[in-house]
């Protein structure tokens, strides 16, 4: 148990006064020591009660309340020890200790000694109420009451001095044990709940961190992968044109510079959000469907002819920014895969078709590439592009299919089909 758990269990609060705080800390140390070495405390308590019982016998104080002051001193001493010594096992076997004391209590009541050590039974009753089920308290009441009733029969005029004090003592001890047990169980439940909440909080934090790492990995993959593919296409085209058309080579180099700067700007913005204070981070809007034309222009400059078709009527309220970003990134990743894996002979072409339906938006990206299909298969081929696209689609209850064009198609190639609901639906 940690210090915080102890504070919660024993009710220590930061706002207590100095004296109260010292008392609570002292009690915590005593209880902590008792938890570590229970036999030490049991031995000290039992020894103290044995000494008090013996002193009561030796001083003759028991005679002031005895029904029969002439009871043998040896018998009184034996009964005093029999009442006090078993307290050593009051925690581990309280009901057995009470059963052991019952014959001694019978002798005490029957003889008329009525020694005060008989009240030590109530310490055991407290432990019965604290540690055992409720039905054990009924047995404890029977073990305490039966000898007293027998003594009342033996001494008819002893009801008030013999029965009533023990009845009150039993009731108070049982109620105190129940109250302490209830508080103990309640505080243990609070401590357990606090621990479970801490574990859940840590798990939620780890899940949130993992989800954020995945999102950042997707963004960096899309940004860097696409721009590097465009730069590679421009560099290959520029190298081919350098010998025959220096002007086209210069244009390719200029496009490489522009694309590189755009990639660096997006990368700096992404890293800045991670590094800077949220209030200081650059909050440039993410790409939307309106930015598709710029994306396709860059792809065409890299050497991939691509056409855009829009079918259906866009809704009056445009899709949410997250859905538009998902469509944009899927188109970007699909075209990037074509640039990397589409082959060069014959030169591939691509088409992007956006279809608006009443409840969904479909994006179909097809190409006529024939080479490097193994590199497009996501986890099976070691890549992460298709996996990232599926993760993006699943965020909005969408679906994504990727694979070769059907055999009935006039040409061979690859297709990526994204279906995205226009409104949130139950997952």
Domain CATH number, residue 423: 3.30.565.10
**Would 365 be classed as within a structural domain?**
yes
**Would 226 be classed as within a structural domain?**
no
Give me the residue label for tokens 């689609």: 393
- Asked if 53 and 171 sit in the same domain, the reply is yes
What confidence score (pLDDT) does residue 372 get? 44
CA dihedral 232, 237, 240, 246 (to 10 degrees): -120
**Would 230 be classed as within a structural domain?**
no
**Would 118 be classed as within a structural domain?**
yes
pLDDT tens sequence across 173-194: 999 999 999 998 898 899 899 9
Q: What is the pTM assigned to this prediction? A: 0.50
Q: How many domains does the chain have?
A: 2
Burial of residue 122, with CB atoms counted within 10 A of its CB: 0-12 exposed, 13-18 middle, 19 or more buried: buried
- Asked if 154 and 300 sit in the same domain, the reply is no
pLDDT surpasses 70 at 279: no
pLDDT surpasses 80 at 331: yes
pLDDT surpasses 70 at 11: no
- Asked if 178 and 304 sit in the same domain, the reply is no
What confidence score (pLDDT) does residue 374 get? 46
- Asked if 171 and 296 sit in the same domain, the reply is no
- Asked if 198 and 299 sit in the same domain, the reply is no
Q: Tokens standing for 399? A: 């679906």
**Would 113 be classed as within a structural domain?**
yes
Select from 174, 202, 230 the last residue of a domain: 202
Phi-psi region at 312: left, alpha or beta (left = phi > 0; alpha = psi -120 to 50): left
- Asked if 184 and 320 sit in the same domain, the reply is no
**Would 90 be classed as within a structural domain?**
yes
Mean of the pLDDT values across residues 101-122?
Answer: 87
pLDDT surpasses 50 at 159: yes
**Would 221 be classed as within a structural domain?**
no
Select from 186, 202, 218 the last residue of a domain: 202
What confidence score (pLDDT) does residue 380 get? 40
- Asked if 10 and 148 sit in the same domain, the reply is yes
Residue 182 vs residues 10, 257, 325: alpha-carbon distances, Å: 13, 74, 56
What's the chain's average pLDDT? 79
The confidence band for 1, taking pLDDT boundaries of 50, 70 and 90, is: very low
Q: How far apart are CA 353 and CA 333, in angstroms?
A: 15
pLDDT surpasses 50 at 105: yes
Select from 141, 171, 202 the last residue of a domain: 202
- Asked if 173 and 64 sit in the same domain, the reply is yes
Q: How far apart are CA 338 and CA 369, in angstroms?
A: 7
**Would 242 be classed as within a structural domain?**
no
pLDDT tens sequence across 287-301: 888 888 888 888 887
- Asked if 32 and 161 sit in the same domain, the reply is yes
pLDDT surpasses 50 at 324: yes
DSSP assignments along 270-296, one per residue: HHHHHHS-TTTS--PPPP-GGGHHHHH
Domain residue limits at 296: 289-427
């Amino acid at each position: 148990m940690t210090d915080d758990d102890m504070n919660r269990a024993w009710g220590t609060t930061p706002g207590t006064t100095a004296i109260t705080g010292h008392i609570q800390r002292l009690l915590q140390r005593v209880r902590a020591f008792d938890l570590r070495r229970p036999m030490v405390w049991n031995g000290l308590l039992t020894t103290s009660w044995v000494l008090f019982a013996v002193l009561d016998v030796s001083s003759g104080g028991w005679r002031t309340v005895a029904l029969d002051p002439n009871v043998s001193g040896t018998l009184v001493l034996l009964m005093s020890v029999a009442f006090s010594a078993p307290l050593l096992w009051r925690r581990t076997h309280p009901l057995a200790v009470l059963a052991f004391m019952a014959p001694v209590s019978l002798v005490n009541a029957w003889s008329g000694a009525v020694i005060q050590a008989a009240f030590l039974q109530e310490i055991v009753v407290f432990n019965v109420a604290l540690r055992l089920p409720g039905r054990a308290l009924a047995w404890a009441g029977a073990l305490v009451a039966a000898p007293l009733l027998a003594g009342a029969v033996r001494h008819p005029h002893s009801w008030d001095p013999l029965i009533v004090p023990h009845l009150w003592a039993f009731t108070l001890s049982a109620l105190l044990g129940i109250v302490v047990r209830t508080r103990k169980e309640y505080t243990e439940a609070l401590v357990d709940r606090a621990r479970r909440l801490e574990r859940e909080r840590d798990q939620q934090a780890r899940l949130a961190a993992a989800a954020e790492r995945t999102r950042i990995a997707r963004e960096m993959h899309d940004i860097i992968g696409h721009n590097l593919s465009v730069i590679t296409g421009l560099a290959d085209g520029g190298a081919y044109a350098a010998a025959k058309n220096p002007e086209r080579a210069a244009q390719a180099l200029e496009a490489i510079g522009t694309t590189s700067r755009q990639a660096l700007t997006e990368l700096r913005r992404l890293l800045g959000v991670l590094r800077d204070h949220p209030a200081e981070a650059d909050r440039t809007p993410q790409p939307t469907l309106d930015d598709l034309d710029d994306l396709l222009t860059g792809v065409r400059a890299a050497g991939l002819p691509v056409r855009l078709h829009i079918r259906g009527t866009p809704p009056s309220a445009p899709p949410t920014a997250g859905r538009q970003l998902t469509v944009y990134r899927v188109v970007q990743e699909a075209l990037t895969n074509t640039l990397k894996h589409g082959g060069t002979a014959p030169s591939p072409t691509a088409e992007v078709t956006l279809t608006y339906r009443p409840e969904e938006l479909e994006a179909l990206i097809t190409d006529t590439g024939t080479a490097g299909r193994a590199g497009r298969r996501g986890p099976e081929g070691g890549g992460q592009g298709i996996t990232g696209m599926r993760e993006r689609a699943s965020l909005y209850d969408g679906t994504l299919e990727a694979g070769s064009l059907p055999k009935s198609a006039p040409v061979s190639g690859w297709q990526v089909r994204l279906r995205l609901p226009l409104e949130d639906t139950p997952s």
